[in-house]
Structure formats: C-alpha cells, structure tokens
C-alpha cells in the first residue's frame, strides 16, 4: 500500500518569506504535479509531530532551520487524475539559521524567490491554498 494513493497521506508545507516578502518556491521534478512550483514540505513520518516534520523537511530540501510562526491552514490536496490524496497542514515559518540551497535537485529542478503579487501560474494545489491562507492571515 502506498501513502497518498491507497490511503490518505499526511504532509506538511512551509511558507518561507524573505525580508522582501518574497516566497520561496521549488519546481517539482516528480509527480504528483510535476513541473509545478511548490512550497517546501513533504511527508510526516510515523511517530513524528507535524511541527517536527516541517522543520525536518525544510532542512532536507533547502538546508535552513526554521521557526514556526503559525499554522495558517490545512489543504486537502486531491489530484484525482494522479490518484493522489493528501491532507497538508501549512505553516508560516521564519528562517533562523542557514542559507537556502536546493539540497534535492533530483526532486526539485529549480528554486526561486517570488514576489507575492507576481507568482508563477503553474503552482501546486497546496501552494495556491497557502497563498489564500496568507492573504487572509
């Protein structure tokens, strides 16, 4: 059985803003939503809290430590054509240490900072919802 396909998976997402209020996004190299920009995040491991999961995933993906500011929303990430269903709490976070670097180029083709009012059109469901949550924050 595969998490997110045969049963609902739990993932986490991190909104990371820099001092210019730009959001850090990664360009996905794999399905689901290959070729779409996404916020850093990933799967919650068995026995792990969602708070620990987001800190771990951010460190693994972009090499920085973050502080969680606030839970800003929960996304039902459902992609029927790819038979994927995840529930993903999304956190507003702040970098506390390190410099961003794409640590998983096999998973993420590119990494960029985007102005909140000039986001790419090809963003994942979770990223689109994160923007909605952020605007309502």
Question: Given the DSSP bridges, would you call strands 84-97 and 9-16 parallel, antiparallel or unpaired?
Answer: parallel
Domain boundaries, the chain: 9-136
**Radius of gyration of the chain from its Cα atoms, rounded to whole angstroms:** 14
Judge whether residue 6 has pLDDT over 80.
no
Judge whether residue 1 has pLDDT over 90.
no
Q: Does domain 9-136 have CATH number 3.90.79.10?
A: yes
Q: What is the pLDDT of residue 14?
A: 98
Q: What percent of the chain has a predicted confidence (pLDDT) above 70?
A: 95
Q: What is the pLDDT of residue 32?
A: 83
Q: What is the pLDDT of residue 78?
A: 86
Predicted TM-score (pTM) of the model is 0.90
Are 84 and 75 in contact by the 8 Å Cβ rule? The answer is: no
Q: What is the pLDDT of residue 77?
A: 84
| Other Cβ atoms closer than 10 A to 76 | 12
Q: What is the pLDDT of residues 91-137, one digit of tens each?
A: 999 999 999 999 999 999 999 999 999 999 999 999 999 999 988 86
Q: What is the pLDDT of residues 17-51, one digit of tens each?
A: 999 999 999 999 998 889 999 999 999 999 999 99
């Amino acid at each position: 059985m595969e998490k997110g396909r045969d049963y609902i998976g739990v993932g986490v997402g991190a909104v990371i803003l820099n001092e210019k209020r730009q959001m850090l996004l990664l360009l996905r190299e794999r399905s689901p939503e290959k070729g779409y920009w996404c916020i850093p995040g990933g799967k919650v491991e068995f026995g792990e809290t969602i708070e620990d999961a987001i800190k771990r995933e951010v460190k693994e993906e972009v090499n920085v430590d973050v502080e969680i500011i606030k839970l800003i929303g929960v996304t039902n990430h459902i992609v029927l054509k790819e038979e994927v269903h995840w529930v993903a709490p999304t956190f507003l976070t702040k970098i506390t240490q390190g410099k961003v670097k794409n640590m998983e180029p096999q998973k993420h083709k590119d990494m960029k900072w985007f102005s909140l009012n000039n986001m790419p059109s090809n963003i994942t469901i979770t990223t689109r919802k994160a923007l909605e949550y952020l605007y309502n924050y």
